[in-house]
Structure 1
Amino acid sequence: MRPLFLAALFGLAAGAVHADPPDRLEAFGEALFFDINLSANRTQSCATCHDPAAGFADPRETGLGRAVSLGDDGHSLGDRNAPTATYAALVPGLHRTKDGVWVGGLFWDGRAATLEDQAGGPPLNPIEMGMRDKAAVVARLVENPDYVSAMRGLFGDTVFDDTDAAYAAMTSAIAAFERTEIFAPFDSKYDRFLKGEYQLTQNEELGRLLFFSEQFSNCNQCHKLKRSEIDPGETFTNHEYHNVGVPTHTAVRAHNGVPADLADAGLLANPTIDDPAQEGKFRVPTLRNVAVTGPYMHNGVFEDLRTVVLFYNKYNTKAAARQVNPETGAPWRDPEVAPTLSIKELTDAPALDDQRIDALVAFLKTLTDAQYEHLVEPEESMQCGSACQSPPQQ
């Protein structure tokens, strides 16, 4: 059986019927991942918001850009940006360290402990896939004789005797697919650089030095997991929760009828968390594929990757020009939640000039998986061009 993932890559319709039944857990999960029949109106699958051709993020325009995702009902929009599903299998379950720091969990607020838990959420979310309940989802599975055969073969003949068991079987299959190498190939230019198979440009190398430097930037305080900067398994996130001062996406809130002054509580919105100190904190996302999975931040409020770097830099400079959002031409708006800002992490770095900002962006682009490199904007189009040459003195 040819994997459905390859069918998607080659432009075949998502949810297309294939002659051979999925007989392995990963292959069954792959079929489910692309199946629009698991949504109320049969218009949306996991792949709709996590498109494999777009870095497993949502590339759809909604009238509000691509900040948030459109639901199966054709009009509902969420409040949060759909993050890439790449490297999600490497996120640990939500837990608190001995230092009292919350780490891990899926979704922006960590409310799903495992990939299985995450996979079970969207089908039942009324503004996503919109199914009434688990029984309705299982009924859709039963419609497909290949699915019935696969589930009985994989989970036993009695799998449909209990709705919860059948639903859990579905989510375990989707999670198994998401744990395959397709989602975490570790084959970007940066990975090839570590193997000696790619030579970074001067600009990319400057960005790499800046990124990992404790003297010239604060990027790696949150976006570095491993102890060594040459660890081949680096996911470019420590999975912690931080409030970096992201402003409200007022257009999204207005569309959804949510008052602009009603803040997204972030980690505090997780039903297992009751500590007010966690309000407005969101899980640090991976930077792998960041160049092709915008818009950015938990609410998609910034369109361009360079804008994000400038946003962080505003905390470390008094220059008037750096206090203006280049996407709006107006001053950066106030944080959605101010009292819990991670101010130490945000201010622990010197100001960056255009050369170093562009170099950091160039390095971040090297974190793009090989299959998405054709989506990356060429380095020559960046602001400082050939002036981006000199690495910092350490």
Structure 2
Amino acid sequence: MKKIFYCLLALIACTNVANAAGQLTEAQLGQILFLDSNFSVNRTMSCATCHDPSKSFSDHRENVGLGMVSLGDDTKSLGTRNTPMATYANTSPSFHFDEVLKEYVGGQFLDGRANTLSDQAMGPPLNPVEMALPDAETLVKRLQENPFYVSTFKRLYGETVFDSKQSDTVLPAFDGFSRALQAFEKTDAFSSYDSKYDRFLKGEYDLTVLEDLGRTLFFSNNNVNCNSCHMLKTEDSPKEPFTNHQYRNIGVPSNDQLLALGHIKEDFIDHGLLENPAVDDPKYDGKFKNPSLRNVAVTAPYMHNGVFKELRTVMEFYDHYNNTERTINPETGKPWRSPEVPTTVDKEDLTAHALTDRKIDALVAFMKTLTDKRFEPLLMLDKKSK
């Protein structure tokens, strides 16, 4: 509890979301809800459990599915996907099909099945392998146990917010719960834009030779192809999210270690975007949302199934498509395994010049500069652990 208390104080200090009258705003209510474990079936898991505010809002628990997927409130249930970091999720538009791009864009979760942050917030409390509440009514009852929530919800959402007869779809209080979390996730606590790279753009930080080489490679169309998926604006634009919010199949293999945990069948295949109820065209099979590269260096493991543990491994994996000498996965000492969904791999986006080890080191160095200032100490912790 002490850890949660200090996290709360730190977040209140950095978000500064109380209004002039001293009353809590919707964002600050969301901040408190985010840290409250009463919305899981056994009252042991909060949003912050899998999205630790001190760890770039990602899951760094030692008991987390051997470092691949998150452990549920019952201390035994496991999902099938690596928990995405929550930082910069607020840069994503609502899920939609872009008629110009002829692409699905935006949304939340790795398959975009939640249109907005508010929609996404409704998922984990009712997910049987996460917070595992049986229904929205139970969550509303948990809210009503706390006089603070009752009074704050009525002030923000109306005196009848706990009247379940208002809506035939989403209970008003459950809707308020999700809206408050969305308001919090839209604050600077989740998108501070103060990394070394952001400071470089302002003339407040000088990139090292290796970092600058990585920056040049990243934005170059003649070397690697990073910016085809991980750039929304133009080179060196401020507040670049480092994702275009689109979906790609980059040929990620299934994760044998994940399958070995025994909670899913050995022939399990994650179909990515095709798991989204709004998508039924098989050409989208195996495509996942391009993640933001902000804080990527401190949010391992990588890929939708946590198959890679090191950022450098990810870069070698990309390079193996173009480099005949890059045949071995450095984490396993064995050849790269075949894609989980081989028929829809986006080969064009993976086409690039072969990379030397120095160029890979440079790209990793550049991506480390995308770490928010308050999370930079995590880079040092990771270095000491190796």
- TM-score, normalising length: structure 2: 0.91
Distance 1:137 1:296, change over 3 A: same
1:372 Cα offset (Å):
0.3
Distance 1:185 1:63, change over 3 A: closer
Within the alignment, does 1:225 sit opposite 2:232 as a pair? yes
Gap regions ≥5 residues in structure 2? 12-21, 165-169
Tell me the residue number matched to 2:350.
Answer: 346
1:303 Cα offset (Å):
0.4
Tell me the residue number matched to 1:84.
Answer: 85
Whole-angstrom distance in 1 between the partners of 2:69 and 2:9: 22
Question: For the Cα contact (< 8 Å) 2:300–2:310, is it kept in 1?
Answer: yes
Question: For the Cα contact (< 8 Å) 1:280–1:337, is it kept in 2?
Answer: yes
Tell me the residue number matched to 1:181.
Answer: 188
Q: How does 1:1-394 map to 2 (within 5 A)?
A: 6-7=7-8, 9=10, 23-62=24-63, 64-98=65-99, 99-162=101-164, 164-226=171-233, 228-319=234-325, 322-347=326-351, 349-377=352-380
1:260 Cα offset (Å):
3.0
Question: For the Cα contact (< 8 Å) 1:47–1:56, is it kept in 2?
Answer: yes
1:380 Cα offset (Å):
9.3
Identity of aligned residues (%): 53
Runs of 4 or more above 3 Å deviation: 3-10, 377-381
Aligned-partner residue type, residue 205 of structure 1: D
Whole-angstrom distance in 2 between the partners of 1:121 and 1:76: 16
Which stretch of the first structure deviates more once superposed, 88-97 or 29-38?
Answer: 88-97
- 1:203-230 residue CA offsets vs partner (Å, 9 max, x unmatched): 000000000000111111100000x212
Distance 1:211 1:161, change over 3 A: same
1:298 Cα offset (Å):
0.6
Whole-angstrom distance in 2 between the partners of 1:380 and 1:258: 33
Tell me the residue number matched to 2:16.
Answer: none
Aligned-partner residue type, residue 136 of structure 1: T
Distance 1:152 1:256, change over 3 A: farther
Distance 1:32 1:379, change over 3 A: closer
1:237 Cα offset (Å):
0.3
Question: For the Cα contact (< 8 Å) 1:9–1:53, is it kept in 2?
Answer: no
Alignment partner of 1:315: what SS?
coil
Question: For the Cα contact (< 8 Å) 2:271–2:286, is it kept in 1?
Answer: yes
Question: For the Cα contact (< 8 Å) 1:4–1:31, is it kept in 2?
Answer: no
> How many pairs are equivalent?
366
Gap regions ≥5 residues in structure 1? 11-20, 384-394
Tell me the residue number matched to 1:17.
Answer: none
Question: For the Cα contact (< 8 Å) 1:4–1:30, is it kept in 2?
Answer: no
1:59 Cα offset (Å):
0.3
CA RMSD after TM alignment = 2.0
Whole-angstrom distance in 1 between the partners of 2:324 and 2:25: 58
- 1:328-350 residue CA offsets vs partner (Å, 9 max, x unmatched): 10111111000000001112x11
Question: For the Cα contact (< 8 Å) 2:197–2:369, is it kept in 1?
Answer: yes
Whole-angstrom distance in 2 between the partners of 1:63 and 1:123: 18
Aligned-partner residue type, residue 258 of structure 1: I
Whole-angstrom distance in 2 between the partners of 1:145 and 1:241: 43
1:65 Cα offset (Å):
2.6
Whole-angstrom distance in 2 between the partners of 1:194 and 1:5: 32
Question: For the Cα contact (< 8 Å) 2:87–2:191, is it kept in 1?
Answer: yes
